[in-house]
Amino acid sequence: MSFADIGETRYRPDAARVFEHGWQSWSPTGAYRLGDAPPRAADVNIQTLAYRPETPVPDGVFQGEGLLAIDPGDGAPVEVWSAPSPLEVPSIRAREEGGRLVVSANGDVRHWQAEGGLDQALRGWADTMAEGWAPERFPAVPPMWCTWYGYWGKVTDADVLENLELSERHRLGAEMFLIDDGYESEIGDWLDWRPEFGSLERAVGAVTEAGRRAGIWTAPFLVGHRSRLFREHPDWLVGGAHAGHLWDQDLAVLDVTHPDAAAHLVNVFATLAALGVTHFKLDFVYAGALAGTRHEDLDPITAYRRGLELIRQGAGPEATVHGCGAPMLPSLGLVDVMRVSPDIAPTLHPKSGDISQPSQLGARLTGAAREFLHARWWVNDPDCIIVRPEVEAREEWAAHIDATGGLRGSSDPIAALDTWGLETTRRLMVPTRTEPS
């Protein structure tokens, strides 16, 4: 749909702020002054990977995905412009024009005014959107240890076993061990192990025998062009959908509306659950909401939600479903834990200058801006604790994690931690808060 003007508001130029809510986990989110230049995608590939690809933002325009809030800055109520539900998420824009902020959208929008300032308006919006979709309570989730930021794609089963033992020895309190990207042979071939990884059965078995929960990473809606699935089942792919370029290959999208592809997706998660996995980190799931030609004529958000339902069917009702790179509003009610920021990195600033990409700065800014979602929509995941000596500004990152109520997960090789790193990790590894801020 094209954009149509739907309202306007006056403002105080030196004090007004516009809150943009990003489309998915990695999309920058925050409140900006009128003279600011909000973060935008550095290139076309990043627009696909971390923003909303179908609605790039024109210059000089503010844009939120399903939410745009304007604090006029003069004491007047905050103007809230919102998606009507998680099933219908318009892009909402604001532009300066003749001393006013003119608001437009490319779909149906609800509008109201909120007293008490911007922070209170955001909390009220989250409560309103959660009604009838999110659970009423969010039990505490224990801390975890994750392979990714220590071993990247070269993780082995021996690395998992070593850190399982070191976590116990140093009393770090990790109750779940998450095997991240690197165990699989190719993106899309989740039941084919990379030979250098070793045995997934061995790693998961060691974790569960130690009385801990086992977690695993997948990117369930991505199909890499090098994968066996891509070669053998081209009919299982969303026609015309391009999910970006990463892992040195183009990425296609699994069509969850195709009966055989749907059965395959359920089987992947049922097989992993049968190994003893109970925590499923679903990454890059923005792909499931990309436009394209599907076997069944569903709109992208409905197809995305069906994909999450199929995953839950395979994983089991008691499994923990953990979204990442995920459309925020369309995931409401279907995930237990949600990444609310871009990836952390050992560096303070992103290499591309785009704060949707891995960096401490991007993770801090967007994570803090979305803290109000914790225990309202799901358990927030602010990303992992990494505090080994070579991590830039590690004290600041530890302070950010300490200020959040969300999931705590160490991702350093425990043997690489110095005394301060061990003490800080031990202090931060606590269960999630059960009440929202």
Catalytic residues: 283, 343
Task: Using alpha carbons, list the distances in angstroms from residue 353 to 43, 109, 347.
Answer: 11, 32, 12
Distance from chain centroid for Cα 49: 12
DSSP string covering 217-266, please? EE-TTEEETTSHHHHH-GGGB-BT----EETTEEEEEB-TTSHHHHHHHH
**Within 13 A of 236's CA, how many CA atoms are on the CB side?**
23
Query: Contact 322/432 with Cβ under 8 angstroms?
Result: no
Task: Looking at 110-215, list the stretches that DSSP marks H as alpha helix, in order from N- to C-terminal side.
Answer: 118-130, 148-151, 157-169, 200-209
Question: Residue 329: which region, alpha, beta or left (left: phi > 0; alpha: psi -120 to 50)?
Answer: alpha
Tokens of 191: 């039941």
The sheet with strand 91-97 has its strands ordered as 4-10, 100-105, 91-97, 62-65
Tokens of 254: 């699994």
Pairing mode, strands 78-82 and 67-71: antiparallel
> Residue 430 CB: number of other CB atoms within 10 A?
13
Residue found under tokens 């990379």:
194
CA–CA gap between residue 217 and residue 203 (Å, rounded): 14
**Within 13 A of 97's CA, how many CA atoms are on the CB side?**
13
Q: Determine the 3-state secondary structure of 378 from DSSP.
A: strand
Tokens of 40: 């935008």
CA–CA gap between residue 380 and residue 402 (Å, rounded): 13
Pairing mode, strands 78-82 and 110-114: antiparallel
